[in-house]
Chains A and B, each alone.
Chain A
Amino acid sequence: MFSYVGFIVLFPLLGFLVLGLFGARMKSEKLIGIIGSSTVVLSFLLGASIFAEMLSLPVSARSHIVKQFSWIAAGNFSVDFAFQVDQLSILMTLIVTGVGSLIHIYSIGYMHGDKGFWRFFTYLNLFIVAMLTLVLADNFLVMFVGWEGVGLCSYLLIGFWYDKNFEKGTTGDAAKKAFIVNRIGDFGFLLGMFLIFATFGSLNFDTVFSAATVFTRGDTTITWIALLLFVGATGKSAQIPLYVWLPDAMAGPTPVSALIHAATMVTAGIYMVARSSILFALSPVAMDVVAIIGALTALYAATIGLVQNDIKKVLAYSTISQLGYMFLGLGVGAFAAGLFHVMTHAFFKALLFLGSGSVIHAMHEEQDIQKMGGLKKYMPTTYLTFLIAAIAISGIPPFAGFFSKDEILWKAFSDGSPLLWCVGALGAGLTAFYMFRLVSLTFEGSPRFDEHHLHPHEAPKTMTIPLIVLAGLSIIGGFIGIPESLGGGNRFEQFLSPVFAAADSKMLLPYHDVTATEYILMAVSVAIAAAGIYFARKIYLERTEIAGQTANRFPGIYKLLLNKYFVDEIYDASVVTPIEKGSEKLLWKRIDVGLIDGLINFTAKGTEYASQFFRRVETGVVQSYAIAFVAGILFILGWLIAR
């Protein structure tokens, strides 16, 4: 089965080509939807059968490289378009195609009647192609192709409703912002790749990672490589300081937010760091940076999520915060725990977004949760599945989020520092709080919209079935990674451990026996989450005046949070405006118009002035020219004779 891995990418590619070329002429939405979804489902089934075969093989035989064709061969530099099938890439493939399939099916209902229906599925299929290329690549360059491909699809899909206004501008502005901020990260990734090539002479994962093992821990070059790669990861995975694009990415249709900006694309950075685990493991500095950035982002984004009123914005900040947890896990060396959270987060965050899409659909494009309330009686399925996801993300056992988040927090405590744990646990409490604020304001309490004019309704089957499947996964998804302390043996971590064996051997993290501390911390984090839920329900359902009073008592803090710490404004003032004004006032008006055009005009004007005098030679009288000939001939003759 391994040799068929190319077909996983080929199916959506075919879907993309067929829809892209003929979609506009297809009259039937059903046909377009079936083509778009079935290609991804086929990929998922193929991925699942490869996964099943992998499980039946001994651990040593689980990694394969399947070469498709030679791509670049120049001197002793060569890059193959090859796919690496191993535990890590098959896991990501399953997440991408599995969640992707559900979201494709959901989109059939969600995008019903949109004039760009076929375009939407074309882009979605292209995205799946790019994302699968990213996770299956066997070298940095092919990975980068996928990396840029998902960025492109993200851009296309954020600006999908290009004629729609969004905040201060249009969705096109949001799309450009996402693309440009990502380019900054990509620049770091590229530099990292150059440095890898300069150091190891190859971009192949196998070659680079096995050559890296001979370096000592703390090597400066490796540290630089790791830090540059991490810059790329902060862009793609929306970490401080490059997270600003993700909230704006909510301008796109909701299934896009679910697929690209929650479940898959934004985890590319985590995947990349995990794939390069050996490089990061060799650099304690880079690991600390990853962990600290992750923890800070987790807490920081959670605080902003507390006060947002747009249902998708809350989820966007929540995504940034959860991605922070994943990096926190990676940064303390718990690569498997980070990826575990990638998986569970894909389930419940996709579910939350799809649920919010269902709500937005029912409320006729209203996204302000202050204008909702009491929706649970109108849309019970959406409510129930949304609630399950909210419980899962809050980290209440035995839902999926509990196992993955707790694993990260425990590793942050045992292999990192208690401070990281505190930041993480605080963020977890805030997560529970804002999620249940969202649930309470949206679904519970009394309606704050005009019930006579607006009749919210439950979504159609194509939308609710994916919700139900994802809700099921959000409940049971965590059971494959039950930690030892709860009698599970953590099969998820064991499955992935061969991929991280080299990194683990470099870090030499101590083995932790199950101790009372682990149980205490687990209980504390659950208690914090429960407290968050309790206060959220108390404040937003029973004593609704508290929220306003608190905001009034601390107007400074409230304003700060509501305006997202003014980071967008700071970036505008410190980066965007100087570049814009500098380009206009200096580069355009002075350098281009003044210097470059000026030089050319100076040459032209100088020639003109000089010719004012010399052109008088051309009298138009033929005989005066003839005199010049004769004079010339006489001169030459004279010279020849006198010589």
Chain B
Amino acid sequence: MIPLNFYLILSAFMFCVGVLGVLVRRNAIIVFMSIELMLNSVNLSLIAFASFLGDPTGQMLVFFVMTVAAAEAAVGLAIVIALFRNKQTVNIDEINILKW
């Protein structure tokens, strides 16, 4: 049986990749995908804990996160499309008019 730590290390690694993706990448779609990656890394650790502790609460929470993520993906992609229609770009460096 794979020990719990392996799952947690994988989860942390995925989370860090997601954070870096959000901070570094300029394409809005990629940023969006990075956010999904972070969410899924959290899901993974929740499942791992649920399984190891024999407590189904973690699994239940994951279902919530998945529904919210689905809704968020729908809204987020809609925003990205709306942005592209207005500015012909999804480069978030160019989307910066909300400032001083």
Q: Mark B25-40, 1 if CB is under 8 A from A, else 0.
A: 0000001000000000
Counting CB contacts under 8 A, is A365 at the interface?
no
- What distance in Å separates the Cβ of B72 from its nearest Cβ neighbour in chain A? 16
Q: Give the size of the chain A interface in residues (CB under 8 angstroms).
A: 11
**Closest B residue to A615 using CB positions:** B100
CA distance A618 to B96 in the complex (A): 10
Q: Give residues of chain B (73-100) contacting chain A, Cβ–Cβ below 8 Å.
A: 92-93, 95-100
Interface of chain A, helix or strand or loop or mixed?
helix
Chain A residues with CB under 8 A of B19: 630
Contact of B22 among A615, A621, A626 (CB under 8 A): A626
- What distance in Å separates the Cβ of A41 from its nearest Cβ neighbour in chain B? 80
B23 and A626 within 8 A (CB)? yes
CA distance A627 to B99 in the complex (A): 16
CA distance A74 to B23 in the complex (A): 70
A621 and B100 within 8 A (CB)? no
A630 and B23 within 8 A (CB)? yes
Chain A residues with CB under 8 A of B24: 623
Contact of A623 among B23, B97, B98, B99 (CB under 8 A): B23
Chain B residues with CB under 8 A of A621: 92-93, 96, 99
- What distance in Å separates the Cβ of A611 from its nearest Cβ neighbour in chain B? 9
Chain A residues with CB under 8 A of B96: 619-622
CA distance A455 to B95 in the complex (A): 94
Q: Give the size of the chain B interface in residues (CB under 8 angstroms).
A: 13
Chain B residues with CB under 8 A of A627: 23
**Closest A residue to B96 using CB positions:** A620
Counting CB contacts under 8 A, is A643 at the interface?
no
Q: Give residues of chain B (4-30) contacting chain A, Cβ–Cβ below 8 Å.
A: 19, 22-24
- Of A615, A616, A620, A627, most buried by chain B (CB within 10 Å of CB) is A620
B92 and A619 within 8 A (CB)? no
Q: Mark A184-228, 1 if CB is under 8 A from B, else 0.
A: 000000000000000000000000000000000000000000000
- What distance in Å separates the Cβ of B28 from its nearest Cβ neighbour in chain A? 9
- What distance in Å separates the Cβ of A634 from its nearest Cβ neighbour in chain B? 10
Chain A residues with CB under 8 A of B98: 620
CA distance A291 to B13 in the complex (A): 105
- Of A619, A623, A627, most buried by chain B (CB within 10 Å of CB) is A623
- What distance in Å separates the Cβ of B16 from its nearest Cβ neighbour in chain A? 10
Contact of A616 among B31, B92, B93, B100 (CB under 8 A): B100
CA distance A630 to B92 in the complex (A): 18
CA distance A616 to B99 in the complex (A): 8
**Closest A residue to B98 using CB positions:** A620
Chain B residues with CB under 8 A of A619: 96, 99
- What distance in Å separates the Cβ of B25 from its nearest Cβ neighbour in chain A? 9
- What distance in Å separates the Cβ of A575 from its nearest Cβ neighbour in chain B? 56
Chain A residues with CB under 8 A of B99: 618-621
CA distance A395 to B28 in the complex (A): 109
CA distance A218 to B56 in the complex (A): 96
- What distance in Å separates the Cβ of A337 from its nearest Cβ neighbour in chain B? 86
- A interface residues with partner B (beta carbon < 8 Å): 615-616, 618-623, 626-627, 630
Q: List 20 A-B contacts (CB under 8 A).
A: A615-B100, A616-B100, A619-B96, A619-B99, A620-B96, A620-B98, A620-B99, A620-B100, A621-B92, A621-B93, A621-B96, A621-B99, A622-B95, A622-B96, A623-B22, A623-B23, A623-B31, A626-B22, A626-B23, A627-B23
Further 11 A-B residue pairs, CB within 8 A, beyond A618-B100, A620-B99: A618-B99, A619-B96, A620-B100, A621-B93, A621-B96, A622-B92, A622-B95, A622-B96, A623-B23, A623-B92, A630-B19
